[in-house]
Structure 1
Amino acid sequence: MQKKLSLFYAKVILFSLTILFLSCKKTSDDYYNNGLKRAEKNDHKGAIVEYDEAVRINPNDVRFYIKRAMSKHELKDYSGAIRDFSEALKLKNYTDLYYSRAMIRQKVSDYKGALDDLSKASESEKDNPNFFSIRGTCKLKLKDYNGALNDISKSIELKKNQPSLYYLRGMVKLLIHEKESACEDFHKAKELKHPEAADSVNKFCD
């Protein structure tokens, strides 16, 4: 009888320990939420450690890759951020992810890759002035000057009184030999306090 009781109590203790272990074990969401808290405090290195664990436990949750990409971007790990956005796109074909990846590709001078991503995001970003300024800048770098001019002009239409846009459009107009119109943009950029506009006005216009 005593032997049976001892065996019973041993099973009860084992069961209790198992429940305790399972209740203490962190889930992927636990690590993800910890990562969010660390990122809010600008502890992006710590956040990435948490997101790494979330991905290890559940590699099929798109949220983990997106947030890890954002933290990597904050740390200027652009290649790592691009990889994570690419992994996220394998799981969910969200158009805003193409836009996010395009912004980073532009930073690493992958202008063709950025344009390819922007073409996939164009419908959802048609009212976003930054979309057109980024696309215009990429086209400028690839010497598609007319395409760049059209996009930068669209960005100005959506976001008036942005000095950097007028200055950029002025530079594009110079490249296509529209000096008079370029000077109008340089004067506007100067009026809006662009730091380099005054020099451009002196150099090209006055």
Structure 2
Amino acid sequence: MMIRAAIIASVAPVLLLLSPGWPAAAQQPQKANLLESIERCNGKDRIPAQARVAGCTALIDSGDTKPEALALAYNNRGNAYAAAAEYDRAISDFDRAIELASDYVKPLNNRGVAYMRKGAYEDAVKSFDAAIRLDPAYGSAFANRAEAHLKLNQYDRAVLDFDEAIRLDPKLTWATSGRCWTRAVIGDLQAGLDDCDRAIQSGSNDAATYDSRALIHLKMGQFAAAIDDYSSALRLAPNLASALYGRGLARLRQGDNAGGDRDVSAAKLIDLKIADAFARYGVQ
């Protein structure tokens, strides 16, 4: 099961806060340098992660930012490190942002995403818990916590969190897709199908949503529809083991032994435990 779309809170704009007492003539180059660093730290023009890190580092090391702006810089640098898959560095920066601004919710959510991406799912849940305590209306934090619960096979908890995320933010399409997957696994098939249909009709065009709907069709015995959806998922993510394995099972049940065996074998080359996962989903 892939992490569908765990959301790191968007980069927070860093404000320019020069230390008082600088002579006016000295402030001009200093201000120009800081403005450039701010633009890079804020990720202007979608610059590469390492350039964002450099911009934020310049701000952090400048001594010319107040604590609230420094917290933003640490949060933004944490986002950049996370984008570069340097999760331990990201977590360290999010920790520092939280220390500097205890009422700043974004680094709590972002730290949870970083923990989740490195596979520390229980730590991720704790971080999302803290974000939700600070802001009970933070829909993305509920959806992110649901994804962590899924990784821990805590499906009932995941459904409750997806429910709350969608209640708070009905436009959170990836949460609707995630609830579809969860309902597919626990056997709430028609409600799950409705979720996936809604997500796709809302413009969702990701492998995870088609993979989820395919599992529902497979469990319903609608093998042709399952094959169609698994094929759609594989066009978007050709190495998605769950889609290959599920399509293989659907083909086998339609009597296509050669095609089914080929898909199942390819899936097992990608993920040796994929059959165990499907057994956990209720499909043998």
**Contact between 1:69 and 1:81, CA under 8 Å: does it hold in 2?**
yes
Match of 2:195 among 121, 134, 151: 151
**Which structure shows the bigger proportion of residues in helix conformation?**
1
- Deviation, 1:101, is 1.6
Residue 217 (structure 2) aligns with: 173
Give me the whole-angstrom Cα distance separating, in 2, the residues matched to 1:190 and 1:92.
40
Residue 54 (structure 2) aligns with: none
Equivalences for residues 127-142 of structure 1 within 5 A? 127-142=171-186
- Deviation, 1:100, is 2.0
Say if 1:97 and 1:24 are closer, same or farther in 2 by CA, change over 3 A.
same
Q: How many residues align?
A: 181
Give me the whole-angstrom Cα distance separating, in 2, the residues matched to 1:77 and 1:138.
20
Equivalences for residues 189-200 of structure 1 within 5 A? 189-190=230-231, 193=234, 196=244, 199-200=248-249
4+ residue runs over 6 A deviation: 23-26
Say if 1:26 and 1:53 are closer, same or farther in 2 by CA, change over 3 A.
farther
Residue 20 (structure 2) aligns with: none
Give me the whole-angstrom Cα distance separating, in 2, the residues matched to 1:79 and 1:40.
23
CA RMSD of aligned residues (A): 3.2
Residue 79 (structure 1) aligns with: 122
User: 1:64-95: per-residue Cα shift (whole Å, max 9, x none)?
Assistant: 31232233233222222221111111111222
> Which runs of 5 or more structure 1 residues have no equivalent in the other structure?
1-22
**Contact between 2:165 and 2:172, CA under 8 Å: does it hold in 1?**
no
> Which runs of 5 or more structure 2 residues have no equivalent in the other structure?
1-62, 236-242, 256-284
Equivalences for residues 31-180 of structure 1 within 5 A? 31-41=71-81, 42=84, 43-93=86-136, 94-159=138-203, 165-166=209-210, 168-177=212-221, 179=222
Say if 1:29 and 1:44 are closer, same or farther in 2 by CA, change over 3 A.
farther
Q: Answer yes or no: is 1:30 the counterpart of 2:70.
A: yes
Say if 1:29 and 1:137 are closer, same or farther in 2 by CA, change over 3 A.
same
Give me the whole-angstrom Cα distance separating, in 2, the residues matched to 1:111 and 1:203.
28
Give me the whole-angstrom Cα distance separating, in 2, the residues matched to 1:27 and 1:192.
46
- Deviation, 1:112, is 1.2
TM-score, structure 2 normalization: 0.52
Q: Which one has a bigger Cα radius of gyration?
A: 1
Say if 1:192 and 1:127 are closer, same or farther in 2 by CA, change over 3 A.
same
TM-score, structure 1 normalization: 0.69
User: 1:113-172: per-residue Cα shift (whole Å, max 9, x none)?
Assistant: 111111112145434442222111111222222222222232333347656544543432
**Contact between 1:27 and 1:54, CA under 8 Å: does it hold in 2?**
no
Residue 254 (structure 2) aligns with: 205
**Contact between 2:224 and 2:250, CA under 8 Å: does it hold in 1?**
yes
